[in-house]
Amino acid sequence: MKTDRFLLAGTMLAFALASTLGTAAQTNAVGTGKIKHVLLLSIDGMHAVDFYNCSRGLAGVNGGNPYCPNMATLSQTAINYVNTESSKPSDSFPGMAALASGGTPKTTGLYYDVAYDRSLDPPAQTTGTGLAGGPCKAYAPPAGTTTDFDQGIDYNDNLLNGGAPGASLTEGGIASIDPQHLERDPLNGCAPVYPWNFIRVNTAFGVIRATGGYTAWIDKHPSYSFVGGPGGNGLDDYYSPEVDSMVVPLPGVKTLDGASCDPIRDPLGTSA
């Protein structure tokens, strides 16, 4: 996919977005409004200086040649904007929210995947990471609850597909979210709060899709589908094999270099 702009800004915290914006002709000019594709690469812990070093090379590393050649190629027609900083607190959940929406944790309501919300009640059942289930009385004042938007909301976070009913071995997507593991909103009849309704602001994904574009995202938990924004309509395609899953054989699946994933090549491995 050709990209017209590439933005590397501070520390970025997840994986990739590809979206199509209309059918306008491609251009490298800034501010023309004719961008056709956008690719967002979010790399955990990568600072502006890391990109500077890998794109130009370091003595004693890879013979002094660039060691991120694909990113270096992208940068040749890019805007390298470095006057930025990470979210505060800086972590995958609030950081990804900042990238998707431009909002601070105070604005998005996402401070950490495990936090606290005074406006919600506990999930109906104890989550996979131990957040206890509890009562919820419809239209009564909320009791408040710890929030759990990591792997704990999966049907089964030991499985790569999150335990989604009928899913393939390798990925269950949002179908692996167990509504019984979601915090509930008493002012909405104790309806479960899905990740995309937990974030308080709209996102770039939602804006793109609302204008006829196509959006896709890859991330580490089904809970990161929050990038689609309120209403859950911001994503056409979402891919999220559970990163916290156990290592299991995957019959019929091969790595990019052709190695079989059955049997397990590292029998001592216990988690992905």
pLDDT by residue (tens digit) across 146-186? 999 999 999 999 999 999 999 998 889 999 999 999 999 99
Q: d(Cα 72, Cα 55) in Å, to the nearest integer?
A: 5
Please list, in sequence order, all residues whose beta carbon lies within 8 angstroms of the beta carbon of residue 263, skipping any fewer than 6 positions away.
249
User: 252: pLDDT confidence band, cut at 50, 70 and 90?
Assistant: confident
- Residue 102 is predicted with a pLDDT of 93
- Render pLDDT for 10-62 as a digit per residue (tens, 0 to 9): 323 233 333 333 333 344 455 556 778 888 888 888 888 999 999 999 999 99
SS3 181: helix
pLDDT at 39: 85
Report phi then psi at 16, rounded to 5. -150, 145
Check whether the bond before 89 is cis (ω within 30° of 0).
Answer: yes
SS3 244: coil
Confidence of residue 76 (pLDDT cuts 50, 70, 90): confident
- Note whether 242 and 157 are within 8 A (CB): yes
pLDDT band with cut points at 50, 70 and 90 for residue 81: confident
Whole-number Å distance between alpha carbons of 162 and 139: 32
Picking from 11, 17, 9, 14, the residue whose alpha carbon sits closest to that of residue 209 is: 17
Q: Per-residue b/e over 166-198, b at no fewer than 16 CB within 10 Å? A: ebebbbbbbbbbbeebbbbbbeeebebbbbbbb
Is the pLDDT at 126 greater than 80, yes or no? yes
Return the closest-CA partner of residue 94 out of 65, 64, 67, 114.
114
Look at residue 135 and tell me whether its pLDDT is greater than 60. yes
- Mean pLDDT within 239-264: 90
* pLDDT of residue 4 exceeding 60: no
Torsion angle, alpha carbons of 75, 80, 84, 86, to 10: 0
Distance linking the first and last C-alpha atoms of the chain = 29
Helix (H, G, I), strand (E, B) or coil at 197: helix
Rounded to whole angstroms, the Cα distance separating 259 from 243 reads: 20
Model confidence at 65: pLDDT above 50: yes
**Residue ranges per structural domain of the chain:** 16-92+201-239
Is this model's pTM higher than 0.85 or not?
Answer: no
Q: Record the tokens describing residue 9, joined without a space.
A: 């800004």
DSSP 3-state of 176: helix
